[in-house]
Amino acid sequence: MRLSSFIAQHADRRMVLDVEYERGKCRVGFRVVVLPGHEKSMTRLCTNLPRTPFSLDLVSRLYRFRWQIELLFKEWKSYASLHKFDTANEHIAAGLIWASLCAAVLKRFLAHAAQLIGGKPISTRRVAMCAGHIIDEIVTALLAYASIASAFRDGMAFLLANARRSNPKRDRETGRLRSRLTVVGARS
């Protein structure tokens, strides 16, 4: 029986199928994980991961997080200046990459700190776009031996006023918070 025919007959079920085919004189085996969804076409994943510890539930949960990984790479490319460096020296390029990633981590820290302090969902994207102003103020305070606490407080107030998520209720139903992720610092 053709694999596509078998899957079509069981379109509403999650399945793990062991598949083998011959390639010349060699037999090749792998697992196909079938995950039905809201669309007509279902997700089909091919893997050579063993059934233990990679069960159907674990593989499907890991696959759902793929979009978060894609968004993180997009954030790094868009808001951490990781798209292009004007150098041919690999050591300078490596240093710039690490500096950009450190800046991205710092921006994420600021987003989560504001969320924890304010108890409201904060958009990491909005923080990534405007955190440069806050970081400038904090660095200026450090260099001037001024109060870093004041610069940090002002930065948190700015983020709480300007970087809130647009629709946290929708996020809980369909988006970011659907996979049982919780809002950091949310008050129940």
In the chain, how long is the greatest CA-to-CA distance?
75
pLDDT attached to residue 185: 47
Tens-place pLDDT, residues 11-42: 788 888 888 888 888 988 888 888 887 766 77
The CB-side HSE value for 185 (13 A sphere, CA atoms) comes to 12
pTM equals 0.59
End-to-end CA distance of the chain: 52
pLDDT attached to residue 172: 66
Tens-place pLDDT, residues 118-175: 988 888 888 988 888 888 888 899 999 888 899 999 999 999 998 888 877 776 666 5
Determine contact, residues 104/124, Cβ cutoff 8 Å: no
Percent of the chain with pLDDT over 90: 13
Dist CA 112 CA 104 (whole Å) = 12
Dist CA 14 CA 55 (whole Å) = 12
